[in-house]
Amino acid sequence: MTTLAAGAATLDSRIDEASAKVESKVIACRRDIHEHPELGNREVRTAKLVADKLKELGIETRTGVAHTGVVGILRGAKPGRVVGLRADMDALPVTEQVDLPFKSTVRTTFNGQDVGVMHACGHDAHVAILLGVAEVLAGVKDQLPGTVVFLFQPAEEGAPQGEEGGAELMVKEGALDNPKVDAVFGLHVTSRYPVGKLAYRPEGMMAAVDSFKIKVTGKQTHGAYPWLGVDPIVVASQIVLGLQTIPSRQVDSTLAPSVVTVGAIHGGVRNNIIPDEVEMIGTIRSLDAKMRDEIHMRIQRTAESIATSGGAKATVTITTGYPITYNDPALTEKMAPTLRRVAGTGNVTVVNATLGAEDFSFYQQKVPGLFFWLGTRPANVTAEEAASNHSPLFYIDESGLALGVRAMAHVAADWLNGR
């Protein structure tokens, strides 16, 4: 064995030993955060917990990035490249229904409504895992060339109305600068895969997400005499059906999947009054940048044309959201052996893309990035039985968190060492 290989083997074993030692701390941290969830841009307690831990580890710490974000900088013993590791901190306006000793009972106000708050997407696990990784890597920094930047990010689920937030604001406020990050890694817990499994996909892994609002203006009249007005409810109904032909009939579905979903329709106040206006809102998901632009154009054309044919008017507003979560092919190919080494070859899978979305994509627009799934479904539960992320019944098998720590620590160390 060469000196270089022996050094790598030593580092690998040190990381594994340290990961095993921090497992109980990671679980305890996750439970603490789970019991005290906070919504986007309001993660004050969580940010303090993170900052205090990083400072305790001797890691240079910046707070107040993108409102409540925390950036930690760990400098290795030798000069080298800079790797970013990201965890999102925010919870969701969901009332928890899982019976746990550390169940969330938190309530707060979200966009003017009283809501329960729950870590229904697993961001509590992400924070705990990355704090575990920080402790592991701080303990082996004598063998690390370069620098590790820990990105503890608020508001991945979206900022409150009227506010900026999330990865986009982290980037804008320089989270990837000084030191300049050269590559970035992130993971996401999921109930789609059991404990012990990792999954990823090169190139487009998660969809771009955009929102739309369509206002249909007709002419109000008595419900008994529709011919005396223009019924925007009927026109809106036709628009809903017309929009479904965009992903199914108007774009090449063999190139990449896409979805146009109408999530709400509002209009009218009485059963016998045809209203003046109807408003509908919805979401657009796409996995191809050119197709994304084409879908936007076709939504506008479809809505306006159908409205015109019924004597009404449609006003379409499309708001762009997160870009495609795009795993850099070269980086993904380079780091896939690390994932297989850590989890075991049979436990790492290349999977289909999903139409879910992730604002990790904003980091990937600036530097090469790799995002992967960490299975946290109990082994005795099927994928069909398990509650999905964002469900009030979402449940994490904490025995899967240790693999998350090892995976993130090893990809960072391997990338810094050029393995």
- The dihedral through the CA atoms of 405, 50, 88, 74 has a sign that is negative
Looking at every residue in the chain, the average pLDDT score rounds to 97
Q: Which amino acid is at 110?
A: F
Question: Per residue in 127-159, is it b (16+ CB within 10 Å) or e — as a string?
Answer: bbbbbbbbbbbbbbbebbebbbbbbbbbbbbbb
What is the three-class DSSP state of 207?
A: coil
Are 32 and 154 members of one domain? yes
Q: What is the C-alpha separation between 183 and 219, in angstroms, rounded?
A: 56
Q: Tokens in use for 248?
A: 């199914």
Are 120 and 67 members of one domain? yes
The catalytic residues are: 322, 398
- Give me the phi and psi of 359, to 5 degrees please: -80, 5
Are 137 and 228 members of one domain? no
Q: What is the 3-state secondary structure (H, E, C) of 381-392?
A: CCCCCCCCCCCC
Q: What is the C-alpha separation between 92 and 119, in angstroms, rounded?
A: 6
Q: What is the C-alpha separation between 139 and 48, in angstroms, rounded?
A: 22
For 71, the domain range is 3-207+324-416
Mean pLDDT (whole number) for 2-8: 62
Q: What is the C-alpha separation between 156 and 290, in angstroms, rounded?
A: 25
CB 316 within 8 A of CB 299: yes
The helix or strand, by DSSP H or E, that contains position 106, with its residue range, turns out to be: none
Residue 9 has pLDDT above 90, yes or no: no
- pLDDT, tens digit (0-9, with 9 covering 90-100), for 19-50: 999 999 999 999 999 999 999 999 999 999 99
Are 230 and 196 members of one domain? no
- Domain boundary among the residues 303, 320, 337 is at 320
Are 227 and 272 members of one domain? yes
- Domain boundary among the residues 272, 290, 320 is at 320
What is the three-class DSSP state of 247?
A: helix
The pTM is what?
0.94
**In the prediction, which pLDDT does 368 show?**
98
User: Where is average pLDDT lowest: 55-59, 213-217, 253-257, 258-262?
Assistant: 253-257
Closest CA to 110 of 39, 158, 46: 39
**In the prediction, which pLDDT does 7 show?**
67
CB 40 within 8 A of CB 155: yes
User: Where is average pLDDT lowest: 4-8, 182-186, 224-228, 238-242?
Assistant: 4-8
- Domain boundary among the residues 264, 298, 320 is at 320
CB 371 within 8 A of CB 206: yes
Q: What is the C-alpha separation between 143 and 307, in angstroms, rounded?
A: 66
CB 39 within 8 A of CB 117: yes
Are 362 and 273 members of one domain? no
% of the chain at pLDDT higher than 90: 97
Q: Tokens in use for 145?
A: 């060339």
Q: Tokens in use for 274?
A: 């045809």
Are 66 and 176 members of one domain? yes
Mean pLDDT (whole number) for 139-143: 97
Q: How confident is the model at residue 4 (pLDDT cuts 50, 70, 90)?
A: low
- pLDDT, tens digit (0-9, with 9 covering 90-100), for 293-311: 999 999 999 999 999 999 9
Q: What is the C-alpha separation between 398 and 411, in angstroms, rounded?
A: 21
Are 131 and 149 members of one domain? yes
- pLDDT, tens digit (0-9, with 9 covering 90-100), for 357-393: 999 999 999 999 999 999 999 999 999 999 999 999 9
Are 302 and 230 members of one domain? yes
Give the total number of structural domains in the chain: 2
Q: How confident is the model at residue 419 (pLDDT cuts 50, 70, 90)?
A: confident
Mean pLDDT (whole number) for 95-118: 96
CATH number at residue 170: 3.40.630.10
Are 17 and 49 members of one domain? yes
Are 295 and 346 members of one domain? no
CA max distance for the chain: 89
Are 311 and 349 members of one domain? no
Crossing angle for the helix pair 401-416 and 123-139, nearest 10 degrees?
Answer: 50
Q: Which amino acid is at 163?
A: E
Place of tokens 């299975």: 375
Q: What is the C-alpha separation between 316 and 215, in angstroms, rounded?
A: 7
Q: How confident is the model at residue 3 (pLDDT cuts 50, 70, 90)?
A: low
Residue 5 has pLDDT above 80, yes or no: no
CATH number at residue 261: 3.30.70.360
